[in-house]
Amino acid sequence: MICYRCGVQSPEGKKFCSECGASFNRDEYVEATVLKQVEAVLGQREEEFTLKASTEKVTTRLDEDSAQLGDLESKLKRLNDLDIQLSAYRAKADEDRRKLLSLETEMNETQDRLAKAAVDQRRADDRVAQLEKWVCPIGDQERGELVTLGLLTPEAPPQASTDALRSFQKANGLVADGCPGPRTVAALVAAVHKLNPR
């Protein structure tokens, strides 16, 4: 016979357990055995409830962690998108910088060409002045008349005399070639006479 209290096997016919002294009375034995089984079932149920509660807690925690993980993944994706955009902006900035350097180089070359053209223009103007002085010389009389008319200052260079004569020719309907031809000389004399009648 097995003791309901300590579980030790005892010889048949014994009234008490040789190990713990518990009674082997049938009713007591049945009652104690049932009680022990009930306690075992209740203990098992309690363990199950505890396990279930722990499982629910773990599940809830896993759901929370999953939500946080999803949020982190979303943020990481956003960071990745921003990194791609930043790389595109940097590439665009580098391209714009290269274009700017190219434009600066082109502008410097243009300025150099303009400076050279200005020098060439001055040389050409000087050459034209020399040729005009040789081809269409403006005498002191014509120069004096231009000064009298207020179209020229006494200290003006020869090129200014030619420019002033052209202006006079254009204002009086003459060919503005800068040469003191007969019609131009006559117009100068008439203009001076009109200004200072004798």
Compute mean pLDDT per 10 residues along the chain, 198 residues long, and list them: 71 74 66 75 78 83 87 90 92 94 94 92 76 70 92 89 92 91 93 84
CA distances, 13 to each of 16, 25, 34, 89, 136 (Å)? 9, 10, 21, 97, 163
pLDDT at 127: 74
- Would you call 113 exposed, middle or buried from its count of C-beta atoms within 10 A (0-12, 13-18, 19+)? exposed
Sign of the dihedral defined by the CA atoms of residues 134, 136, 140, 146, in that order:
negative
Q: What is the pLDDT of residue 58?
A: 82
pLDDT, residue 29, reads: 65
Query: What's residue 41's pLDDT?
Result: 75
Per-residue confidence (pLDDT) for residue 1, from 0 to 100: 66
Q: What is the pLDDT of residue 130?
A: 65
d(CA 77, CA 85): 12
Please give the distance of CA 31 from its chain centroid, rounded to a whole number. 87
Q: Check residue 122 and give its pLDDT.
A: 87
Q: How far apart are CA 127 and CA 133, in angstroms?
A: 10
**What angle (nearest 5°) sits at the alpha carbon of residue 187, between those of residues 184 and 191?**
140
Query: What is the pLDDT at residue 4?
Result: 64
Residue type present at position 81? D
pTM of the model: 0.35
Supply the pLDDT for residue 188: 94
User: Residue ranges of the domains in the chain?
Assistant: 136-198
